[in-house]
Chain A
């Protein structure tokens, strides 16, 4: 009897607020504060914080590198590395420039049409590749086209950033938060297609209507300037047709792999690594250093550092404590939890980096689920039907929230940076003036979607 009581006590009080707890919490809070302050590069902070967690033995190195629950999620890391390598090999072929010039010509040089087509292309590419690459490659062409048409490039650039964040929400590989959620909650590519893509299609339509209303009248150009666009020959953009064919072949294979990875029981990272390995092999490169060096290593190490930091506070019980507070707040009402997660994620992601945010939320949600359904474990817990809407709310909130401010998502930061270098400064407020209303609108629509689909129609 006493034993049972003790066990019950241990279950209800799963952590002790000892020195280790406070040390880990301090490292975690300090690291996040320094990341937000941007005084030190976020990768450096995350790495040093992680090293402290290891050196102070809050987390053993074995746990950090080999234990899925506490350490680095290698599935996320290698999915990112694999996709980045594929894109690095693909970039010099001129594929993206080709698509962009082709799109501008498809728009017949008409600014409003071009803006619409660019937004769609950005959304689709962002869903299949990463947002940063998409924007990084389309924005220069956008600036060129705006110069050719003698129109202000800023609306184009902002719309592309917004479209990229919306499009990225649609798939497992579209945005880092989705990759992280998928890996942690063991969701597959088709789950995302089935649950998120429908709402993202609606959101894109709404974005395009809003864009049309806001810019439809303002964007005009002269006929002779349109001629400049029509004279461009997109075929000249292709620098390496053979490599382009190889890249598209591998990319096709990888996408097919993603579609079937759930059925085939392959992890997403396996698919991406296979694609990267195959494309490296097909490229016949004798100098892989370049392609590997071009991987966004600061981002990768930021992830690695964050996983270890979060692992530390998971181990000492801070995340469990937070999940209990959250349960107290929502009193176990999952609809309320969903909505809180979505709106809080949106606002948080608009202001701070959504990667550390999602890295913290993932274990928090799992801890919450454990308390609600203590008898469940593994997949039955992670994919509990009542829990699913919470995952989708997190994904929608964290991804769409990025539109709220110029620092909300990497795509925004890139667009603003590029505009500034081109002499077209986009002030913080100007971006917010477009981005924030769009964010509110899209999150609002997502809220209705989640409510309708999972709590009213329940399918």
Chain B
């Protein structure tokens, strides 16, 4: 199977100009499949072209002060610090916090390529591009899991 056989369609996207507050709200209400609401990541389009991707990790990265990343200071934080810092960055633009160098696959990428990229780069989702570099769907890690389940169950069926 290839990426295009398992990918899911994209329903909602963000723009680089969206504020973080709005982005969080949009992700909270976005629909994901049947009856589920809330997604953990969204692609960012600029003029219809893929500009980046925002995930909960990107948002956390924006909230955690830069100096925390430089040394081991986790023990010296205080109650309420996360909330305080979150409010400080609420007005930041999606364009500032998104991951810019998005790792993508082509429609014809074999699933092994998708799996390799996801594990190598600790990704949860891979935007799928067509020949004109337009986003046509997304492969989620759960789609790969589905493929694994199928491969194992088929074998049992033999």
A–B: direct contact at CB < 8 Å: yes
Task: Name the CB-closest residue of B to A228.
Answer: B78
Q: Could you tell me if B75 and A144 are in contact, using CB atoms closer than 8 angstroms?
A: no
Beta-carbon contact of A233 and B75 below 8 Å: yes
Q: Which residues of B contact A97 (CB under 8 A)?
A: 71-73, 76
Q: Are A231 and B73 in contact (CB under 8 A)?
A: no
A86-116 interface code vs B (CB 8 A; 1 in, 0 out) = 0000000010110001000000000000000
Q: Which residues of B contact A59 (CB under 8 A)?
A: none
Q: Which of A135-143, A284-292, A352-360, A400-408 contacts B (4 or more CB under 8 A)?
A: A135-143
Check if A147 is an interface residue, CB within 8 A of chain B: yes
In the bound assembly, the distance between CA atoms of A418 and B65 in angstroms comes to 11
- Name the residue on B nearest A225 (C-beta): B78
| B78 with A422: CB separation less than 8 A | no
A94 to chain B, nearest CB (A): 6
Cα(A136)–Cα(B67), bound, Å: 10
Q: Is A144 in contact with B72, judged by CB distance below 8 angstroms? A: no
- The answer to whether A232 and B67 have CB atoms under 8 Å apart is no
Known pairs A143-B65, A422-B65; A236 contacts B71 (CB<8 A): no
Give the shortest distance, in Å, between B40 (CB) and chain A (any CB).
Answer: 26
Asked whether B70 is an interface residue with its Cβ less than 8 Å from the other chain, the reply is yes
Chain A contacts for B65, CB-based, 8 A? 143-144, 147, 422
What range describes how many residues of A lie at the interface?
Answer: 20 to 34
Closest residue to B76 on the A side, CB-wise? A232
Partner of B76, one of A96, A101, A239: A101
**Contact between A144 and B76 (Cβ–Cβ < 8 Å)?**
yes
Q: Is the interface of A mostly helix, strand, loop or mixed?
A: helix
Q: Do the beta carbons of A137 and B71 come within 8 Å of each other?
A: yes
Name the contact of B78 in the complex, choosing from A94, A141, A231 (C-beta under 8 A): A231
A140 to B81, CA, bound (A): 16
- In the bound complex, residues from chain B placing their C-beta under 8 Å from that of A236 are 75-76
Q: Is the CB of A139 within 8 A of B75?
A: no
Do B78 and A140 touch across chains, with their CB atoms under 8 A apart?
A: no
Which B residues are CB-close (under 8 A) to A137?
Answer: 71
CB distance from B142 to the nearest CB of A (A): 35
A148 close to chain B: CB less than 8 A = yes
* Among B73, B75, B77, contact of A140 (Cβ-Cβ < 8 Å): B73
Complex Cα distance, B75 from A294, in Å, reads: 25
Which residues from chain B contact A228 at a C-beta distance below 8 Å? 78
**A239 contacts which chain B residues (CB < 8 A)?**
72
Instruction: Give the shortest distance, in Å, between B74 (CB) and chain A (any CB).
Output: 9
Cα(A421)–Cα(B67), bound, Å: 8
Let me know if B122 is at the binding interface, CB within 8 A: no
CB neighbours (8 Å) of A96 from chain B are 71
Residues in B69-126 with C-beta less than 8 Å from chain A:
70-73, 75-78, 81
Instruction: Flag if A94 contacts B72 (CB, 8 Å).
Output: yes
Tell me whether B76 and A143 are in contact (CB under 8 A). no
Question: Which A-chain residue is minimally distant from B77 (CB atoms)?
Answer: A144
A-B contact list, 9 entries, CB within 8 Å? A96-B71, A97-B76, A139-B67, A140-B73, A144-B73, A232-B76, A236-B75, A237-B76, A418-B67
| A residues with CB within 8 A of B | 94, 96-97, 101, 136-137, 139-141, 143-144, 147-148, 228, 231-233, 236-237, 239, 418, 421-423
CB-CB nearest 3 A-B residue pairs: A140-B67, A236-B75, A421-B66
